[in-house]
Structure 1
Amino acid sequence: MIDLVIFDCDGVLIDTERHCWTADAALLTAAGIAISEEEVARRFTGISFKDMYRALEAEHGITLPKGFHETVDAAIRAACVAAGPNLAVAGVADAIARIRQAKCVASSSNPAWLERYLGQVGLWSVFAPNVFSAVEVTRGKPAPDLFLHAARKMGVAPERCLVIEDSVPGVTGATAAGMRVLGFTQTAWDPKTHGPRLIEAGAVATFDDMRVLPALVREADLS
């Protein structure tokens, strides 16, 4: 039985990932860390910016300039604002409305980001105050901490939670938390190759269209 559906945010509720890939690849390359959008997408989707920059600095022996994160953040935010309500993943608002279980968000993004962009697409009021950020736990994804934190806050046992994730770190963390996971592939760099990666990480199934999500949740609830 499923009592709680936990949604990741970026790449599941809002289609921000492509803006992140573009800004990071361009600005990292300009700073001396040559990297493509595809590599950023493949390696770091679902990982916090802090952890990504730390890993790349170590690999390349480069210290990124002071204020680098703020520069990238400004570029991403400008692109997201320009998208307006179209920043929402297609069909997600209707899918959420058709799910009868309790719902919350568990995201690697910071609280200000979550409120700003979920608000932009009309979803903040749907989830708040049940929006949980990785800043609230010691370890972010792929550790299970954030998912377990969300379940505790919502008063639901992990085995009665269903997680909707688009990243390997997210699927890994939710699976480690003892939760079932559906992998969403529509916003991936290459949806066809991303699905098998999510299954390998522990997703019980994948899907690429939010219109089918309510049926998938009902199916999980009966299994």
Structure 2
Amino acid sequence: MTNTREPLLIFDCDGVLVDSEPLSIRVLLDTVAAHGGHLTETEAYQRFLGRSMATLVSVLDTDFDIRADAAFLERMRRDLYARFEKELQPIAGIAEVIAQLPWRKCVASSSQPERIRLSLDLTGLREHLEPYIFSATMVKNGKPAPDLFLHAAKEMGVDPLCCIVVEDSPAGIIAAQRAGMKVFAFTGGSHADREDYRTEISALKPTVIFDDMADLIHLVEKECEARA
């Protein structure tokens, strides 16, 4: 492991790099309805924000009696990618921030590798982050387990204590905390205006809560000064 005090920034993808959460939730709700099920928007955000596909399939089956079989998943994937190609946007200011970051960085997302790279391609961010892209499919347990963040740190050769995770979901914040990492909660995505969401994020007591990506470099610098 690297003993340097220089941080490794670990970015979640959906809701942190790309403003995808409302698109994803809408497609999920439409797919559930098309297969005869019912799920509210509030339930979808509370149960699935930041979670892996494996978790989604399991929870739909166990808690909502909705079977997300191969046909369900294929329809959702097809519709989601089509919507991404028409509507997906990067988080405001993220490209400029990533280009200016003086520290090492990587992506650790609950999404599948194909979806992560498509999202980054469509928003022009992939060139800044490739090849350091890690998916929940690479570990046994997805968020809120710490496995993915610990895997990313190990692959990057950095002590978890030197990592700063940038996350938007409660599951991701908990995962970073369980990994022993600092976590900066980003609440600037278009899904983050819900009062229940902001209350839950605040209750988790992340290291920092911020809603403007332009502030990230200053916040990391401040954290580095505190560690010195």
TM-score, length-scaled by structure 1: 0.92
Q: Which runs of 4+ in 1 moved over 4 A?
A: none
**CA-atom RMSD in angstroms:** 1.6
Q: Secondary structure at the residue paired with 1:186? A: coil
Q: For residues 113 and 144 of structure 1, do their structure 2 counterparts lie closer, same or farther at Cα, with a shift above 3 Å needed?
A: same
| Aligned-residue offset at 1:131 | 0.7
**Cα pair 2:165 2:184 within 8 Å, conserved:** yes
TM-superposed CA distance for 1:114, in Å, is 1.5
- Please list, as runs of the form range in 1=range in 2, the aligned pairs for 1:1-20 lying within 5 A after superposition: 1-20=5-24
Aligned: 1:209 with 2:215:
no
**Which whole-Å deviations, capped at 9, do the CAs of 1:142-167 have from their partners, x for residues lacking one?**
11010011111111111110000000
Report the equivalent of 1:61. Answer: 65
C-alpha distance in 2, partners of 1:65/1:138?
21
Question: Structure 1: any 5+ residue segments left out of the alignment?
Answer: none
Aligned equivalents of 1:21 and 1:159: distance in 2? 33
Q: Where does residue 85 of structure 2 map in the other structure?
A: 81
Instruction: Verify the 8 A CA contact 1:147 1:174 in the aligned structure 2.
Output: yes
TM-score of the pair, normalised by structure 2: 0.90
- Superposed counterparts of 1:125-164, under 5 Å: 125-164=127-166
Matched residue, 1:200: 203
Identical-pair percentage = 37
What is the CA distance between 1:202 and its match in structure 2?
4.2
Please name the residue that 1:48 is paired with: 52
Q: Structure 1, residues 166-205: CA drift from partner, whole Å, max 9, x if none? A: 0011001011000000101122343554333223234112
Following superposition, the deviation at residue 40 of structure 1 comes to 0.9
Residue 139 of structure 1: how far off its partner (Å): 0.8
Q: Find the counterpart in structure 1 of residue 224 from structure 2.
A: 221
Query: Hey, what does 1:120 align to over in structure 2?
Result: 122
> Does the CA contact (< 8 Å) of 1:195 and 1:206 recur in 2?
no
Residues 108 and 62 (structure 1), Cα distance of their counterparts in 2 relative to 1, 3 Å cut: closer
Deviates more, 1:30-39 or 1:96-105: 30-39
Per-residue deviation, 1:66:
4.1
Deviation for aligned residue 1:8: 0.3
